[in-house]
């Protein structure tokens, strides 16, 4: 499905419900009476405020909460004829990369129901992959859009930090949270950024930067383009199927006149990406979610004192995985620990970002596989894990630490399941990113990819 496709809303509604019975991607349905055939239909991750609709963000502590205002991205969406048809499921409070910890049933991968969909924006990815909507909103703090995009054969875009307003978004880690989205092709992905970007007086982190007509300006020519290959990431890819498909792409880009160069960051900095990310993200999450106490949001517990009410609400309202992250975050924020943990992580982050930006400086784009393999089998995962710890997975966090744009688009297949290619560029260079992505999409022929469920 494309953004400009004509739509029979009644047929789509039946399809959405049939699909959701299998993949379990929908958190809340919208009112059927609001639909009309002139709209394009959008799924919205359940940490994004839509006035009057429930917003639980996969957490029991927010059960029953209904925002009274729209997030800025929802207002921009409505102005362009977009219609919110559902809130999509997600890992609790955005803290997860599997789609299994949603507060209810897990989200299943539409290509193989025995596999994870990825997270935390897995519900949005699954609905686009299933052909239920041409566009779905998500958020990306570590890899929460690009990883599920790789696992579901969708295009997942994380723009430059500050391109899109975060007003009305339930925060995870303020310094890294980015609103993004899923589509089925690069042309729609380029157009979607035009819809959502822009300065917002309600979000002081949004930046005034000239945008453009990204989709009309798409230029898939490759001659003379300088494309980096992220060597440290690609040397960790052990699967011969994925490696061959990537190598075939590289040969194609060279034949078309692109200049290919191996680039890298010193391993001492790359090895610190994951621990630095976790330290900062968990600390910011602990601070941001201090308001989730059962008194101001969600169902208020019955107790004799405020202390008892808060303890009861937070004990039953959060999963064990989220509680662990809060504990780690609180520990690094203790006054006696801040210098050696949180403040040190911030200093190392600055150094990592400096090295990364230097690597991107002379490149049009940088390439690596988004994930080291297709989506894992659910039975092979330990549900209590924090996340997969390896450079082949954690490299996506570089763009959250640095605020740089990146996207994942389908590159190939293994065992009937898709996997994606990560394309990244320097800050505010989305046009270059979309241009090269369009050239690669022309090569793969995977534009508009969806699966029947």
Number of C-beta neighbours around residue 394 at 10 A: 22
Co-location of 51 and 200 in the same domain: yes
Name residues of the chain where pLDDT drops below 70. 1, 6, 31-38, 210, 298, 382-390
Output the CA torsion sign for 138, 143, 146, 147: negative
Residue 239: inside a domain = no
Co-location of 172 and 78 in the same domain: yes
Co-location of 142 and 278 in the same domain: no
Residue 245: inside a domain = no
Give Cβ neighbours of residue 352 (< 8 Å, ≥ 6 apart). Answer: 265, 269, 272, 273, 276, 398, 401, 402
Task: Work out how many domains the chain is built from and give that number.
Answer: 2
What's the confidence (pLDDT) of residue 37? Answer: 56
Q: Which domain holds residue 280?
A: 269-338
Number of C-beta neighbours around residue 173 at 10 A: 22
Co-location of 169 and 303 in the same domain: no
Give the HSE-up count for residue 399: Cα atoms under 13 Å, Cβ half-sphere: 38
What's the confidence (pLDDT) of residue 5? Answer: 76
Cis geometry, peptide bond prior to residue 234 (ω within 30 degrees of 0)? no
CATH number of the domain to which 420 belongs: 3.90.1300.10
Q: How far apart are the first and last CA of the chain?
A: 14
What's the confidence (pLDDT) of residue 384? Answer: 44
Q: Which of 294, 312, 338 is the last residue of a domain?
A: 338
Active-site residue set: 45, 120, 144
- Residue 314 tokens read as 């937070």
Residue 253: inside a domain = no
Q: Round to whole Å and give the CA distance between 149 and 126.
A: 9
What's the confidence (pLDDT) of residue 297? Answer: 75
What's the confidence (pLDDT) of residue 31? Answer: 63
pTM of the model: 0.96
């Amino acid at each position: 499905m494309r953004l400009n496709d004509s739509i029979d809303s009644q047929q789509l509604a039946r399809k959405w419900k049939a699909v959701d019975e299998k993949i379990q991607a929908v958190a809340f349905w919208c009112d059927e009476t609001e639909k009309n055939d002139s709209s394009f239909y959008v799924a919205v991750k359940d940490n994004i405020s839509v006035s009057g609709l429930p917003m639980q963000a996969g957490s029991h502590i927010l059960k029953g909460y209904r925002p009274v205002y729209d997030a800025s991205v929802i207002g921009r969406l409505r102005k362009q004829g977009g219609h919110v048809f559902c809130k999509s499921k997600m890992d609790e409070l955005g803290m997860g990369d599997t789609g299994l910890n949603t507060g209810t049933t897990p989200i299943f991968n539409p290509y193989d129901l025995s596999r994870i969909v990825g997270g935390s924006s897995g519900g949005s990815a699954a609905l686009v992959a299933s052909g239920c909507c041409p566009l779905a909103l998500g958020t990306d703090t570590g890899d929460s859009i690009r990883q599920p995009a790789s696992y579901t054969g969708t295009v997942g875009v994380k723009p430059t930090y500050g391109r899109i307003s975060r007003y009305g978004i339930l925060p995870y880690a303020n310094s890294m949270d980015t609103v993004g989205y899923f589509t089925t092709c690069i042309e729609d992905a380029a157009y979607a950024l035009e819809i959502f970007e822009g300065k917002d007086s309600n979000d002081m982190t949004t930046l005034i930067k000239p945008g453009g007509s990204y989709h009309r300006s798409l230029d898939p020519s490759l001659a003379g383009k300088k494309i980096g290959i992220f060597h440290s990431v690609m040397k960790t890819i052990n699967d011969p199927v994925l490696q061959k498909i990537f190598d075939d792409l590289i040969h194609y880009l060279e034949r078309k006149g692109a200049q290919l160069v191996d680039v890298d960051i010193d391993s001492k900095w790359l090895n610190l990406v994951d621990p630095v990310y976790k330290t900062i993200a968990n600390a910011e999450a602990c601070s941001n979610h201090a308001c989730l106490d059962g008194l101001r949001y969600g169902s208020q517990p019955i107790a004799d004192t405020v202390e008892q009410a808060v303890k009861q609400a937070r004990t039953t309202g959060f999963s064990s995985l989220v509680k662990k992250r809060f504990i780690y975050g609180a520990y690094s924020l203790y006054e006696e620990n801040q210098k050696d943990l949180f403040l040190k992580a911030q200093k190392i982050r600055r150094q990592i970002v400096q090295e990364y930006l230097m690597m991107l400086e002379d490149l049009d784009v940088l390439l690596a596989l988004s994930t080291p393999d297709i989506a894992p089998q659910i039975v092979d995962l330990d549900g209590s894990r924090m996340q997969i710890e390896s450079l082949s997975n954690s490299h996506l966090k570089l763009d959250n630490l640095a605020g740089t744009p990146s996207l994942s688009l389908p590159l190939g297949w293994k065992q009937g399941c898709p996997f994606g290619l990560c394309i990244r560029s320097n800050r505010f260079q989305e046009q270059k990113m979309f241009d090269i992505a369009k050239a690669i999409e022309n090569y793969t022929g995977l534009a508009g990819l969806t699966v029947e469920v």
